[in-house]
Amino acid sequence: MLAMHVTSAIGNARPPPPLLTFPTQWRRRVEQRQACRRQRLVAAATGPPSDVFVLDYDGVICDSEHEVSTSALEACCQHWPHLFGSLSDAERQRVRRGLRATRPRLIKGWEALVMARLVLEDDSNVQRILHDWEPLLERTLAAWGKGDGAALAAAFESHRSAQMSGAAAERWLALNPLYPGVGEALRACPYPFYIASSKASSRLVTLLRAGLGMEVEEGSPRIFASLIPPNEKKIAALREIAQRPTAQGGATLHFVDDRYETMHAIAEQAPDLLSSWKLWLADWGYNTPEERAAAAALPGVRLLSRPQFCELLKWGVVMEVDDGCEPTAEEVEAAARQS
């Protein structure tokens, strides 16, 4: 009876599900991606670089808003103690949220003091800053009797410089975190890259050493610092880098920035660069949804997510696949539907 029971159970068993197979088109896509990546890695290791990168720092590599906003609020307490000296925690957090929201308009660090006071006065000023910042800044400085803002700039720089030395230096560095995954991707990047930033060279070099372990000096040819006004200066930097031997020999040139205004300026004022540079707007940086939509419509500009950026640094191309070996979730679904 036992033998009959076992035989019956085996006879009634359901066959195992078929192994999931992928249509030829999906396999071919993965094989093409893998081959492309292997070719680029071999080229990077054995010959002239196949790719060269120029990267903005703030809003691409580093989320420096934490430091700028913290320094601005502390400088406001010193410069306007009657306004900022006794803020409640709730008021302080409200101003911090406003500074985070208005960060896309910040060019010079001291401008954050003006932004902080405007946000403290009225939350509706956040939208005014986002939509009309340059004329609003000029009118506000005049109304406050601050002229060209030199006194505010001095107050901000004095406080900020003090935070970079002594016991406060570790805190200052901690307020400048790298975006998740970006540090690892840069340290493993097989291609040469340059940094083009509006940040002062002394601060930029300090952060590159601490965050990425880059042994660079202020005069390093890999560093383009204090690029203000950013649009004109970054266009000039791209032209200079394109003429360097590293960028010759057919290398693909990539420029990654988070400022919509800079991308717009390249498209409008330097359209000749569109044929030699791939322009990427970092969608995790300091830009607004409206700016991202506008950038997507600019000639030669493509939106880039942070995972795609890390992939670009590793392979020189964005493949839309995590590791080049496994199909995406969408491909798995499509294959399952066809099986």
Among 303, 314, 317, 232, which residue's Cα sits nearest to residue 273?
Answer: 232
Max CA pair span of the chain: 103
> Domain boundaries in the chain?
47-62+177-330, 65-174
Model pTM? Answer: 0.82
CATH superfamily of 47-62+177-330: HAD superfamily/HAD-like (3.40.50.1000)
From the CB of residue 196, how many other CB atoms can be counted at a distance below 10 Å? 26
Which three-class secondary structure string do you get for 35-95? HHHHHHHHHHHHCCCCEEEEECCECCCECCHHHHHHHHHHHHHHHCHHHHCCCCHHHHHHH
Q: Give the count of beta carbons closer than 10 Å to the beta carbon of residue 35.
A: 11
Phi-psi region of 313 (alpha: psi -120 to 50; beta: other; left: phi over 0): alpha
Radius of gyration, CA atoms only, the chain = 26
* Torsions phi, psi for 189 (to 5 deg): -65, 125
Q: In terms of DSSP H, where are the helices of the chain?
A: 2-12, 24-46, 65-79, 81-84, 89-102, 111-121, 125-143, 150-163, 169-174, 182-188, 201-212, 230-242, 260-269, 289-296, 306-315, 329-338
Give me the tens of pLDDT residue by residue for the chain, a chain 339 residues long.
Answer: 434 443 444 445 555 544 444 455 545 654 555 555 555 554 555 578 999 999 999 999 999 999 999 999 999 999 999 999 999 999 999 999 999 999 999 999 999 999 999 999 999 999 999 999 999 999 999 999 999 999 999 999 999 999 998 889 999 999 999 999 999 999 999 999 999 999 999 999 999 999 999 999 999 999 999 999 999 999 999 999 999 999 988 999 999 999 999 999 999 999 999 999 999 999 999 999 999 999 999 999 999 999 999 999 999 999 764 444 445 556 556 655 665
Q: How many CB atoms lie within 10 A of CB 272?
A: 9
Cα–Cα distance for residue pair 104/88, rounded to 1 Å:
26
Neighbouring C-beta atoms of residue 4, cutoff 10 Å: 8
Query: What is the reported pLDDT for 220?
Result: 96
- All residues at 6 or more sequence positions from 178 whose CB lies less than 8 Å from its CB, including other chains: 61, 62, 63, 211, 212
